[in-house]
Structure 1
Amino acid sequence: MTTARQVSVPCPIGRAAGLLGERWTLLILRNANLGTTRFDAFRAELGIADNILSNRLARLVEAGVLMRVPYHDGGRTRQEYRLTTAGAEVLPVLHALAVWGEEHTKPAEPTGSMQVIHQRCGQVTTPGRVCDGCGELVRREEEAWVRPWLSPDPIILASPVTTGT
């Protein structure tokens, strides 16, 4: 199922960079993969201006990477932003950026490294498909991240919504 809008760039890397390369977009997708769904939570976690966040979320919805899902907040109906399959499939890009960032950049203040945990066996593993500890395929629903600069607790990745199409 292709949900992303068509663009005139023939190169798939160029098309992907055109969507994912905007400032804040990969961080929004990182947080969406970690379960953030609400506008206020994205804003608080990222420190992003409302107008920029609104623009990026709208663009990701238009491209089929996120999906708006209504929820009730008291008497109001509001929108959550949930990962689609296309949004969940950005995970290898996030893994690659994490590995590259560990190897080639340093934080201003010393901190522990991000870890990927295979929940099934409990072992820390290299981001990717096969667990370094048990040798089994690491399925999305079995993967958790530990970001020690925020919390020592593992966060299990969010599941994508099914659109029924």
Structure 2
Amino acid sequence: MRRTSFANWPCSIARTMDLLGDWWTPMVLREAFYGIKRFDAFQQELGIARNTLTDRLRRLVDEGLLEKRPYQRQPVRYDYVLTEKGRDFFGVLAAMNQWGDRWLSGEAGPPIVFHHGTCGHDSHAEVVCAACREPMTSGDTRPRLGPGYPPRLAELPDVQRRFNRPDSLDE
């Protein structure tokens, strides 16, 4: 069965989901942020099938989130190291972690906390406006067509309706 591709949709969320493809891909990236670099360590930590892990690592390398670096010659074996593009995915994982901490943690509290080395505090992700540094919420933020939205689609009545809604999304 062939899956639907969102790679060319005019939406960064859809394109990101197309890149991720399934639940294993963000888990592999999580492990990379935890310092895992070697195939066997990814496999052991995640309990993922070797063929599935091979596919996910290949895709992350092809998409530029991980880089393969040989650490052994006979036989050739590789470390999988986060690239700049891969390291930039941290914000996505941190936001997912914060949401999970709020809505899925048990009475004992969050299973993992993030320690911010710059200030020395345990903290969590927040989505803030890059311009004013105030928190962005669903109630005060709405999507608008950006410069990369295809002009031929922007003229469609359903697209116009979709992006010309009231200012508050909580209504």
Q: TM-score, normalised by structure 2?
A: 0.64
Structure-1 residue corresponding to 2:66:
66
**Partner SS state of residue 64, structure 2:** coil
Residue ranges of structure 2 left out of the alignment (5+ in a row): 1-6, 129-171
Structure-2 residue corresponding to 1:15:
15
Q: Distance in 1 between matches of 2:127 and 2:96?
A: 15
Q: Distance in 1 between matches of 2:102 and 2:127?
A: 20
Asked whether the 8 Å contact 2:101–2:110 carries over to 1, the reply is: no
Asked whether the 8 Å contact 2:61–2:67 carries over to 1, the reply is: yes
Structure-2 residue corresponding to 1:87:
86
Q: Amino acid of the residue matched to residue 59 of structure 1?
A: R
Asked whether the 8 Å contact 1:9–1:15 carries over to 2, the reply is: yes
Q: Distance in 2 between matches of 1:20 and 1:85?
A: 17
How far the C-alpha of 1:104 sits from its partner, in A, is 1.3
Greater helix share, 1 or 2?
A: 2
Greater strand share, 1 or 2?
A: 1
Structure-2 residue corresponding to 1:122:
120
How far the C-alpha of 1:90 sits from its partner, in A, is 0.6
Greater Rg over alpha carbons, structure: 2
Residue ranges of structure 1 left out of the alignment (5+ in a row): 1-6, 131-165
Structure-1 residue corresponding to 2:55:
55
> Residue deviations 1:67-89, cap 9 Å, x none?
1111117x432111110111101
Distance 1:128 1:104, change over 3 A: closer
**Partner SS state of residue 124, structure 1:** strand
RMSD: 2.5
Aligned residues: 123
**RCO (CA 8 Å, sep 6+): is it higher in 1 or 2?**
1
Q: Distance in 2 between matches of 1:65 and 1:115?
A: 24
Q: TM-score, normalised by structure 1?
A: 0.66
Structure-1 residue corresponding to 2:3:
none
How far the C-alpha of 1:10 sits from its partner, in A, is 2.9
Q: Distance in 2 between matches of 1:95 and 1:84?
A: 17
